[in-house]
Amino acid sequence: MASASLKSGTPQKILDSAERLLQVRGYNGFSYADIATALRVTKASLHYHFPSKADLGRRLMQRYTQNFLAALTAIDSSGADAREKLQRYVSIYSDVLANNRMCLCGMLAAEYATLPKPIRLEVIRFFDANEAWLAGVLDEGRQSKAVHFAGSAIEAARVLIAGLEGAMMLARSYGEAARFERTGRRLLAELA
């Protein structure tokens, strides 16, 4: 039976628990039983809100993307220059890693071949949105001469995302967040 404290906001609490589990274990590394245990509810109550794990994963991706895009909008609204926007972007990843988690979409990308199609589409949507935002910031920085890079802004954006995602994986593997910090600084220095 669901605890009284869970009744209000149940879908959000389920999503919060699933997000934590996915960022630590990956999509294939958790089950409804893990969420039910963490929230002290029945699996049937989880299925009431999210009939399948694919439904849960798709909704989780939509929420994560929405929150990430809101963070990018806040960066844009800050009035920061392109270099500072890029630093704040790297800080989003750093903050996730500091909480002993991985980028949700990075975790999903690692399991891409085994994901249900709706989740794969959401992963691509997330990375497309990130690439577009970064390309805009990089173009802005190039025009103001705040950043320098060879090739197109979209290519530079892809290199930055790939570098940050890879740096997270290695930092986690070694248990050294400092590895990520050094790589993030190096990636940004390459644009100076």
Q: Where are the chain's structural domains?
A: 54-189
pLDDT band at 164 (very low <50, low <70, confident <90, very high): very high
Residue type, 66: Q
- % of the chain beyond a pLDDT of 90: 94
pLDDT tens for each residue of 16-28: 999 999 999 999 9
Question: Are 19 and 60 within 8 A, CB to CB?
Answer: yes
What is the rounded CA–CA span in Å between residue 55 and residue 15?
A: 11
pLDDT band at 2 (very low <50, low <70, confident <90, very high): very low
pLDDT tens for each residue of 44-103: 999 999 999 999 999 999 999 999 999 999 999 999 999 999 999 999 999 999 999 999
Q: Which residues contact 135 (CB under 8 A, 6 or more apart)?
A: 152, 153, 154, 156, 157
Q: Which fold has domain 54-189?
A: Tetracycline Repressor; domain 2 (1.10.357)
Question: Are 184 and 93 within 8 A, CB to CB?
Answer: yes
What is the rounded CA–CA span in Å between residue 38 and residue 43?
A: 11
pLDDT band at 38 (very low <50, low <70, confident <90, very high): very high
pLDDT tens for each residue of 97-131: 999 999 999 999 999 999 999 999 999 999 999 99
